[in-house]
Amino acid sequence: MENQDLIKQVTEKAQKWLTPAYDAETQAEVKRMLENEDKHDLIEAFYKDLEFGTGGLRGIMGVGTNRMNIYTVGAATQGLSNYLLENFKDLPQISVVVGHDSRNNSRLFAESSAQIFSANGIKVYLFEDMRPTPEMSFAIRHLGCQSGIILTASHNPKEYNGYKAYWDDGAQVLAPHDKGIIDEVNKIASAADIKFKGNDALIQIVGEDIDKAYLEAVRTVSIDPEVITRQKDLSIVYTPIHGTGAVLIPRALKDWGFENVHTVPEQMIPDGNFTTVVSPNPENAEALSMAVALAKKLDADLVMASDPDADRVGIACKDDKGNWVLVNGNQTCLIYLYYIITQYKKLGKMTGKEFVVKTIVTTELIKKIADKNAIEMMDCYTGFKWIAREIRLFEGKKIYIGGGEESYGFLAEDFVRDKDAVSACCLIAEVAAWAKDQGKTLYELLLDIYVEYGYSKEKGISVVKPGKSGADEIKQMMTNFRNTPPTEIAGSKVVLVKDFQTLKQTDGEGHVSDIDMPDTSNVLQYFTADGTKVSVRPSGTEPKIKFYVEALAPMPTRGDFAGAEAAADAKINAVLKSLGAE
């Protein structure tokens, strides 16, 4: 039996979409859902409003308050416009940047947003076509804008689209602005409150002018250009997986001096249906399969793939047996920061003010590297807006040299304030060139890092719980973990529990202390006596509860890698079984 109160609630919301403020096609679809005896579609489309989560506004495209369409996008843009007009009312001209990726409807949503901003008297710099998310972040700072948005659902399946809002520092909005914008969005009762009819005089199309400035800045990220000169023939295969990386990444690699770059022709074509892959996510081996096939044919050194909005990068390289293997997000972040710190020291670039940042679920080996090299390391929440916050807090006081997260995002510079696959692709190519210069493969370099700092394996498990019933189930799971924390995990005593929602941590003896973080977050962490770390959190953008496990194992030599991996795998499996998250 359906919940009658819920059906009444969603029916009332849906009926508001049957007014002339909504187009005929939208009204027809709403009528279909209202008249259907099966209320599943109606409930899923209207049971809640899309909200800004850890990744902004994101959802399945379609009709309804819980769907991505010109009205939900329009409400977000009108709310953001109202908030900007209040916060920057003393400025003679408020300005914003609008960008988008290759997804279906992204251009439509971007143009609609540009019209709404301009209708509110806000100047808009609208990119002429799809561009990477990091370039939009760069453009906000470069053009001196107060805000910016990009229409993208990152690496999500083709059914999704999204809307990320940025502030004047080029980073995604944080408190109090995120809550302030939501408050303004919530004041918009219907499409009639949205100013769709724009002012073309306030919309300026941008493209190559920003591309050139951004690529010049990206070029400065290179630490050792001489190693690229010596290894300019490094064989690289790159794919944008039908996304925005096609516009700039091959060009950036050429700017850095790499002369042997090959792209996957079929995937250089913009395609919102991502026809050649199951999912455009560089975390998945399948998404890199065409690039790896080309790499085998060419006997290449390195494979790289960026997601549709070119903020994440996935990497593959040959192992000691010549087999192509994926380098995961934790390993990639580890390699980047190891290279940056090592080269800064070698080339005498260290000033003593440098710092690096990682998220709380990213490998703890990064802290070992930072500590051994006397570099300050900061932990922050999942989501690059928190890394950007650390950069902003210490701007002019300390020197940011890199930060990353396990979900395949890295940022090596501070002129962008979001993860950047453009600079990251170039930098990992430089790392591979540096390794080759020493007679090593990228894979052997990774093994050498493990030999020096110890082996660690991390595994993320996402348990998918779709729809409203799934959301309720995820909420209950978090409540159970919080109220009844495990005292041991896979046979090892829990020695520390961190609850980032209460900002309290409890050690193995029951002593409670405060956690110093800028805000609360629905994340739980358990640390055990054998060095295992477990993190649990619901996704901010998808119907998932996520488990992150990190297990340690000794690895005295490169030859001990297989044994160390097997030992860590066994520990991880035992941990997941212990938590009921297999």
Coil, strand or helix: which one is 493?
strand
544-553 and 455-464 strand pairing: antiparallel
Please tell me the predicted confidence (pLDDT) of residue 1: 37
Please tell me the predicted confidence (pLDDT) of residue 367: 94
CB 458 within 8 A of CB 565: no
CA distance readout (Å), 424 to 158, 325, 418, 526, 535: 24, 19, 12, 31, 26
CA distance readout (Å), 363 to 338, 406, 460: 13, 7, 12
502-510 — which CB contacts under 8 Å span 24+ positions? none
CA distance readout (Å), 519 to 477, 482, 483, 501, 544: 22, 18, 21, 8, 22
> Which among 466, 464, 465, 467 is positioned nearest to 3, based on CA atoms?
467
Report DSSP letters for 243-269, one per residue: STHHHHHHHHHHHHT---EEE-GGGSS
At position 187, the amino acid (one-letter code) is K
For helices 421-437 and 329-346, give the axis angle rounded to 10 degrees: 60
Instruction: Give bridge partners of residue 306 from the DSSP assignment.
Output: 313
Q: Establish whether the linkage from the previous residue to 176 is cis, with ω within 30° of 0.
A: yes
CA distance 133 to 141: 13
CA distance 570 to 551: 9
Active-site annotation holder among 154, 222, 456, 535: 154
CA distance 484 to 475: 14
DSSP letter assigned to residue 4: H
| Structure-token pair, residue 439 | 């007679």
Cα 417–516–365 angle (5° rounding)?
Answer: 65
To the nearest 5 percent, what fractions of the chain are helix, strand and coil?
A: 40, 20, 35
CA distance 53 to 48: 14
409-411 and 399-405 strand pairing: antiparallel
Phi-psi region of 142 (alpha: psi -120 to 50; beta: other; left: phi over 0): alpha
* 235 tagged catalytic: no
Longest dimension (CA), the chain: 71
Report DSSP letters for 456-489, one per residue: EEEEEEEEE--HHHHHHHHHHHHHHHHHS--SEE
CA distance 121 to 139: 20
| Burial call 538-571: b when 16+ CB within 10 Å, e when fewer | bbbbbbbbbbbbbbbbebeeeebbeebeebbeeb
> Which among 402, 366, 364 is positioned nearest to 384, based on CA atoms?
402
CA distance 333 to 377: 13
Burial class (CB in 10 A: 0-12, 13-18, 19+), 580: exposed
| Structure-token pair, residue 306 | 């960026």
H, E, C per residue of 354-398: EEEEEECCCCCHHHHHHHHCCCEEEEECCCHHHHHHHHHHCCCCC
For helices 365-372 and 329-346, give the axis angle rounded to 10 degrees: 10
Residues 6+ positions from 301 with CB-CB distance below 8 Å: 234, 235, 236, 317, 318, 432, 436, 441, 442
Please tell me the predicted confidence (pLDDT) of residue 2: 55
Coil, strand or helix: which one is 109?
helix
Q: Which domains does the chain have, with CATH numbers?
A: 48-206 (3.40.120.10), 217-453 (3.40.120.10), 455-579 (3.30.310)
CA distance 270 to 240: 9
Please tell me the predicted confidence (pLDDT) of residue 447: 98
Q: What tens-digit pLDDT sequence spans the chain (582 residues)?
A: 358 899 999 999 999 999 999 999 999 999 999 999 999 999 999 998 887 655 568 999 999 999 999 999 999 999 999 999 999 999 999 999 999 999 999 999 999 999 999 999 999 999 999 999 999 999 999 999 999 999 999 999 999 999 999 999 999 998 889 888 888 988 998 899 999 999 999 999 999 999 999 999 999 999 999 999 999 999 999 999 999 999 999 999 999 999 999 999 999 999 999 999 999 999 999 999 999 999 999 999 999 999 999 999 999 999 999 999 999 999 999 999 999 999 999 999 999 999 999 999 999 999 999 999 999 999 999 889 999 999 999 999 999 999 999 999 999 999 999 999 999 999 999 999 999 999 999 999 999 999 999 999 999 888 888 887 888 888 888 999 999 999 999 999 999 999 999 999 999 899 999 999 998 989 999 999 999 999 998 887 678 888 999 999 999 999 999 999 999 999 999 999 888 776
Please tell me the predicted confidence (pLDDT) of residue 543: 82
CB 160 within 8 A of CB 56: no
Please tell me the predicted confidence (pLDDT) of residue 466: 82
For 298, other C-beta atoms within 10 Å of its C-beta total 13
